[in-house]
Amino acid sequence: MTAGVVTVRAGTSYRDMVAMVRRHRVSGLPVIDDDGKVIGVVSETDLLAPEAADPGHGVHPAPRTWLPHRTLAGAPGSVVLGQNIVDQVRHLEGVVAVHDHFTYPGP
């Protein structure tokens, strides 16, 4: 991953996720495993769910709330990396469409 893509790992606290969404001005956070593979996405909507505010709540390997359309934003280091992220999110269970709003580096 590059510095432009903000991700979280399974077990990240609710408080930390909210802080990251605010600090980086993103609408969602890809959830990655120890190998850097995308295993889920936490959106602002997910963070608004009443059960998410439970202080002990963290990201589970398979987030319970899924929206069929996902919008990705950020600045991956290359087009290839951005396309890889989009492809991984597109293949997650329940995802119908992925909207790529990444900012790619110039030639």
Q: Quick one: what percent of the chain has pLDDT higher than 70?
A: 75
What b/e readout covers 89-105, taking b as 16+ CB neighbours within 10 angstroms?
Answer: beebeebeebeeebebe
Question: Which pLDDT belongs to residue 62?
Answer: 41
Rounded CA-CA distance 43/26 in Å is 9
pLDDT tens column, 75-87: 888 889 888 888 8
The CATH class, in words, for 8-56+66-102 is: alpha beta
Question: Which pLDDT belongs to residue 66?
Answer: 42
Q: What is the mean pLDDT of residues 84-107?
A: 79
pLDDT tens column, 34-63: 888 888 888 877 777 655 555 555 554 444
Q: Which of 81, 70, 79 is nearest to 26 (CA)?
A: 70
Encoded tokens for 98:
């992925």
Q: Average pLDDT over the chain, rounded to whole?
A: 75
Question: Where in the chain are the domains?
Answer: 8-56+66-102
Q: Residue 64: which pLDDT band, with cuts at 50, 70 and 90?
A: very low
Contact yes or no for 102/75 (Cβ under 8 A): yes
Q: What is the mean pLDDT of residues 3-8?
A: 79
